[in-house]
């Protein structure tokens, strides 16, 4: 356990070093969120059937949630270059190491994003409804992170049979952006499409954690479903 904690601390320290990367990423995220909110404001003004405060609150909280569930692991590179062999002879579990690395990266991303989150609240304070800070919301963040990590792991394992998985990863990530509720809240989709997305694990990326903080989901059922998904994924590792 001590070796994993040490690895966790090292990754935290590494993420605090590259400040230029931090500022460029910060700026790109801010622009993306602002464009998304302005786009939905235009849609709401033209339709008039959607409550402005609900949508803006949803996307501001979603921007914070995505800091923990939007993952990009590096396992395929290790497989392709043969670096994985070096990890396998070490007295550590490679999957646990990758999980710890991803977790430390996302903790730093989450903390770094808090000032921008506060700025977004101030910019849209007339439309922002303060979320419910609950244990369930934090728990769904953990579930979303774990499911996202498991799916990324499955995608990167394709490197055992393919020379490059980045293209597949990019396509699937784009699809996940839609089915997770990051681009369009699932409540706005047609009933038939929403019913399909509701049985998929991708809603735990964004839609479920956001609505847990907004207090608008059946916590017990979603918690049970999320737990089942995690057990299924890790049972196949």
Q: List, in order, residues 6 or more apart from 233 with CB less than 8 Å away.
A: 146, 147, 150, 151, 154
Buried b (16+ CB within 10 A) or exposed e, 4-35: eeebbeebeeebeeeeeeeeeeeeebeeebee
Q: Which two tokens stand for residue 92?
A: 């550590």
pLDDT tens profile 165-199: 777 878 888 888 889 988 888 888 888 988 888 88
Distance, in Å, from the CA atom of 114 to the CA atom of 120, rounded to the nearest integer, reads: 10
pLDDT grade for 125, boundaries at 50, 70 and 90: confident
Distance, in Å, from the CA atom of 125 to the CA atom of 128, rounded to the nearest integer, reads: 5
What pLDDT does 14 receive? 62
pLDDT tens profile 52-77: 888 889 999 999 898 888 887 777 77
What pLDDT does 48 receive? 65
Whole-prediction pTM: 0.84
Question: What does the DSSP 8-state code read for residue 90?
Answer: S
């Amino acid at each position: 356990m001590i070796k994993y904690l040490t690895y966790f601390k090292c990754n935290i320290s590494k993420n605090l070093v590259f400040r230029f990367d931090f500022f460029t990423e910060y700026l790109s995220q801010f622009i993306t969120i602002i464009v998304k909110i302005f786009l939905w404001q235009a849609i709401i003004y033209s339709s008039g059937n959607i409550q402005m405060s609900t949508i803006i609150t949803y996307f501001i909280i979603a921007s914070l949630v995505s800091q923990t569930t939007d993952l990009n692991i590096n396992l395929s590179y290790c497989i392709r270059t043969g670096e994985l062999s070096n990890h396998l002879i070490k007295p550590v579990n490679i999957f646990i190491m990758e999980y710890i690395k991803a977790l430390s990266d996302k903790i730093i991303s989450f903390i770094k994003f808090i000032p921008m989150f506060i700025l977004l609240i101030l910019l849209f304070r007339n439309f922002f409804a303060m979320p419910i800070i609950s244990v369930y919301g934090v728990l769904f963040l953990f579930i979303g992170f774990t499911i996202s990590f498991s799916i990324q792991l499955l995608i990167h394992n394709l490197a055992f049979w393919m020379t490059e998985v980045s293209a597949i990863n990019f396509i699937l990530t784009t699809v996940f952006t839609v089915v997770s509720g990051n681009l369009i809240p699932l409540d706005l989709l047609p009933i038939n499409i929403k019913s399909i997305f509701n049985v998929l694990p991708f809603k735990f990326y964004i839609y479920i954690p956001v609505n847990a903080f907004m207090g608008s989901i059946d916590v017990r059922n979603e918690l049970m479903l999320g737990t089942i998904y995690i057990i299924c994924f890790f049972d196949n590792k």
